[in-house]
Homo-oligomer: A and B are copies of this chain.
């Protein structure tokens, strides 16, 4: 398989801030500043629509809302039915387009437990101006003052992945209202089953590829760099899972009678897992890095310019030493990963506490390639 490489680059906010007052960026920004509340109100309406993909009615309402939002921007949207949620595709053609750019988003959210939401229920978006214990919240309906960019919106999918959709539409509005013509045809593909692993996306792309493809694909989904700066990734790793089961004796054996003699699959699995990475976090599985394209000098330089967030993250996450102490986080992002996300043997440590040689031991890995 060919690896796709991920390169995290953070654009400098100051580069935009230095623009002259009548250049295109400044004209779009001026429009945005005048319409912030209107943009947020549109976002809040969208966030109010529950979007757990297992509820077909809710998902249909989201797809309809997206259709309307895109029609307002003359995107000619189309809802493609799938076995799961509809995929919304749309295009806005530019008069003298030099190319076609496709933007990917998803409108479904992770399952949600309302009991875990301390300010408002998950589908009642609210602005948190001050965090707890002070805990000051703001509703937009009565707010007419300046909007503070340090406020945070709490609402299901406000980060993953609904706000990016509204931000994209606002950018289109900004260009339109600043009379800046598009120089590319712009296509969008909005998926409703991303959190379930995109089971229908491949079929939709195969069957409607001619209306989705472009000269570039921008996936507007993923974490912002911890420095808080706007973040652009050059590529995305795919995920693959594997469950490994090691079998020992046909049934659990008494460890007093047969320990030291019968092979223990829990130990064998531990040895297998332990052998997969060296002490510097390098995967030792044969061929694992064979199709890795090394970073160019330019790419390395770009990474060096990203603020180093490792010390802050390590403090937040409570550990003092990363797996690999030589490479920074963003360099590690540019390698495939092998991660143990679960394992078990003998019914788990909290189980019956039986002194057995377990009959089997299993581990689940995820690999980002």
Contact = CB atoms under 8 A, between A and B. Distances in A.
Interface stretch (A29-37, A43-51, A183-191, A242-250): A242-250
Contacts of A212: none
Contact of A262 (B248, B319, B348, B358): B319
A199 interface: no
A128 B275 CA distance: 49
A267 B342 contact: no
Interface stretch (A61-69, A170-178, A253-261): A253-261
Contacts of A351: 342
A358 B342 contact: yes
B323 A349 contact: no
Nearest to A250: B318
A347 interface: yes
Nearest to A357: B339
Contact of A349 (B257, B342, B353, B368): B342
Interface string A345-369: 1111111011111100111101010
Contacts of A253: 317
A273 to B, nearest CB: 4
A261 B322 contact: yes
Interface string A252-283: 01111111111110110111011111000100
Contacts of A266: 273, 340-343, 363
A13 B163 CA distance: 84
B262 A322 contact: yes
Interface stretch (A17-25, A84-92, A142-150, A328-336): A328-336
Nearest to A237: B256
Given A266-B340, A349-B344, A319 B248 contact: yes
A202 to B, nearest CB: 20
Contacts of A241: 353, 355
A368 B270 contact: no
Contacts of A350: 344
A256 B368 contact: yes
Given A317-B250, A322-B263, A358-B342, A364 B368 contact: no
A270 B274 contact: yes
A318 B237 contact: no
Contacts of A364: 346, 349, 353
Contacts of A259: 337, 339, 366, 368
A355 B358 CA distance: 26
A98 to B, nearest CB: 34
A31 to B, nearest CB: 33
Nearest to A329: B261
A359 to B, nearest CB: 9
B317 A249 contact: yes
Given A260-B339, A344-B348, 14 more contacts: A249-B318, A255-B339, A260-B335, A261-B332, A263-B319, A270-B274, A274-B274, A339-B355, A342-B354, A343-B345, A343-B361, A344-B344, A344-B345, A349-B364
8 A-B pairs with the lowest CB-CB distances in the bound complex, closest first: A342-B346, A250-B318, A274-B274, A259-B337, A270-B273, A266-B340, A249-B317, A260-B332
